[in-house]
């Protein structure tokens, strides 16, 4: 078993620090995921923003193998957090030779311990939003995704780990994403509507054609497995299953999950924020008129979860009402008094956001007229076929 030790850096450790960071720059570039420029990790540039004692060097069996900087103020990425209220990690790096030695986990554990020792209310980090494996690593260590921002040419995901028994400090950023009325109301509505949905097996023609087009691509590429998001009563999952695909369905509504299981579909009660908990990968993901229940501020997190469960080169179909950039709640009183949250998107917004995660193969904007079932004048349907980017 490797012996891992972490020590605060001193002036004579600058060459070691540069060596670790340069090694990281080189090997992540080799795998097609460039992180920093070489000049950005030399002490001449680093010293403009850091003191040497901000850095910690990690040793594996006495060999310098990783580093990180811990600071108590980050006005660029976290301008609303006062100095000393939180602890931030920067420049987390591991050399290529040590990438499977447990170094990264040890450094994150050390970061958390330092947060406790220094009396920080929270510890925070920001990372490239387009690195699903890195984000999953942080989430496994208890960091909670807050939001994604475009900052210059960077797509940045923000995470917080609360040091107190009752999470409070990061609620300013979370903007009540998980307030009870959000998911609970969606669940309540669709639990109530399950019987009605189950009685309507016939789909409108434009939905049938969209599904058929995606299925034809699936067969051409000889895909074998499919995950349906927000499967409802399970008629689309049943279609794919009857056409020889291995299908898994998820839905937030327990009553909808029951309807799926009655059709012999493997189904789970699960929301879109935790797809990686399935611990499976799929050749295809299918989501029709379900991701419109995801707030705009959360969409990147959900897209990242889809990326995590999709095989490299896998296909992703996303269909949803839209045409305008709005968010609202609507009540369909003849079914339930529970308001449903809806997010609608413009073509431009979808192309930009989805393009950060997937290769867009086909983007259709259909004029479907009225009769969407949503109490708002929505007559546009976005039909989008994508592929997980092959790096």
Query: What would the pLDDT profile of 229-269 be if each residue is shown by its tens digit?
Result: 999 999 999 999 999 999 999 999 999 999 999 999 999 99
- 109: which 2 tokens? 């554990």
Minimal CA–CA distance to 105: which of 113, 236, 185, 121?
Answer: 113
- Partners of residue 127 on adjacent β-strands: 157
Please give the pLDDT value at position 111: 95
Q: Look up the pTM and report it.
A: 0.61
Please give the pLDDT value at position 374: 53
> Can you give the residue ranges of every domain in the chain?
4-174, 180-388
Instruction: Tell me the pLDDT band of 132, cut-offs 50, 70 and 90.
Output: confident
Lowest mean pLDDT among 103-117, 171-185, 195-209, 347-361: 171-185
Residue 137 to residue 104: CA distance in whole angstroms: 9
Region 161-166: mean pLDDT is: 69
182-186, 314-318, 331-335: which is most confident:
314-318
pLDDT at 223 over 50: yes
pLDDT greater at residue 305 or residue 249: 249
Lowest mean pLDDT among 58-62, 79-83, 91-95, 163-167: 163-167
Please give the pLDDT value at position 160: 94
Please give the pLDDT value at position 229: 98
Please give the pLDDT value at position 16: 96
pLDDT greater at residue 129 or residue 333: 333
State how far Cα 63 lies from the chain centre: 34
CATH superfamily, domain at 180-388: Vaccinia Virus protein VP39 (3.40.50.150)
Instruction: Tell me the pLDDT band of 382, cut-offs 50, 70 and 90.
Output: very high
Please give the pLDDT value at position 181: 66
Please give the pLDDT value at position 126: 93
Please give the pLDDT value at position 13: 96
Please give the pLDDT value at position 169: 39
Cα–Cα–Cα angle for 74, 79, 84, nearest 5°?
Answer: 50
Please give the pLDDT value at position 317: 98
196 burial (CB, 10 Å; 0-12 / 13-18 / 19+) is: exposed
Where b means 16+ CB within 10 Å and e means fewer, 306-325 reads: bbbbbeeebbbbbbbbbbee
CATH code for residues 4-174: 3.40.630.30
What average pLDDT does the structure give for the chain? 87
pLDDT at 365 over 70: yes
Q: How much of the chain, in percent, has pLDDT values that exceed 70? A: 92
């Amino acid at each position: 078993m490797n012996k891992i030790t972490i020590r605060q850096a001193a002036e004579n450790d600058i060459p070691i620090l540069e060596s670790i960071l340069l090694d990281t720059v080189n090997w992540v570039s080799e795998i097609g995921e460039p992180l920093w420029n070489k000049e950005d990790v030399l002490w001449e540039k680093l010293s403009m923003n850091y003191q040497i004692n901000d850095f910690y060097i990690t040793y594996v069996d006495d060999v310098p193998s990783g580093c990180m900087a811990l600071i108590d103020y980050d006005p660029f990425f976290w301008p609303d957090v006062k100095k000393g209220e939180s602890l931030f990690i920067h420049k987390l790096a591991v050399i290529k030779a040590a990438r499977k030695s447990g170094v990264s986990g040890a450094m994150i554990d050390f970061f958390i311990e330092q947060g406790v020792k220094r009396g920080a209310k929270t510890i925070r980090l920001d990372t490239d939003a387009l690195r699903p494996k890195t984000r999953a690593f942080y989430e496994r260590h208890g960091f909670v995704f807050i939001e994604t921002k475009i900052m210059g040419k960077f797509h940045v995901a923000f995470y917080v780990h609360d040091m107190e028994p009752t999470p409070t400090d990061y609620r300013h950023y979370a903007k009540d994403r998980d307030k009870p009325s959000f998911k609970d109301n969606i669940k309540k509505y669709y639990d109530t509507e399950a019987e009605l949905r189950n009685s309507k097996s016939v789909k409108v023609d434009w939905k049938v054609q969209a599904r058929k087009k995606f299925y034809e691509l699936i067969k051409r590429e000889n895909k074998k497995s499919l995950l349906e998001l927000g499967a409802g009563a399970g008629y689309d999952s049943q279609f794919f299953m009857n056409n020889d695909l291995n299908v898994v369905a998820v839905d937030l509504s327990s009553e909808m999950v029951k309807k799926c299981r009655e059709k012999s579909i493997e189904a789970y009660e699960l929301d879109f924020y935790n797809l990686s908990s399935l611990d499976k990968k799929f050749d295809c993901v299918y989501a029709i008129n379900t991701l419109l229940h995801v707030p705009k501020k959360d969409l990147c997190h959900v897209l990242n979860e889809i990326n995590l469960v999709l095989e490299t080169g896998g296909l992703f179909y996303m269909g949803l009402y839209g045409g305008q950039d709005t968010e609202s709640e609507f009540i369909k009183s003849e079914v339930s008094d529970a308001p449903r949250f809806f997010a609608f998107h413009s073509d431009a917004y979808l192309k930009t956001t989805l393009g950060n995660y997937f290769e867009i193969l086909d983007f259709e904007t259909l004029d479907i007229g009225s009769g969407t079932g949503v109490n708002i004048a929505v007559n546009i349907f976005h039909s989008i076929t994508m592929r997980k980017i092959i790096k």
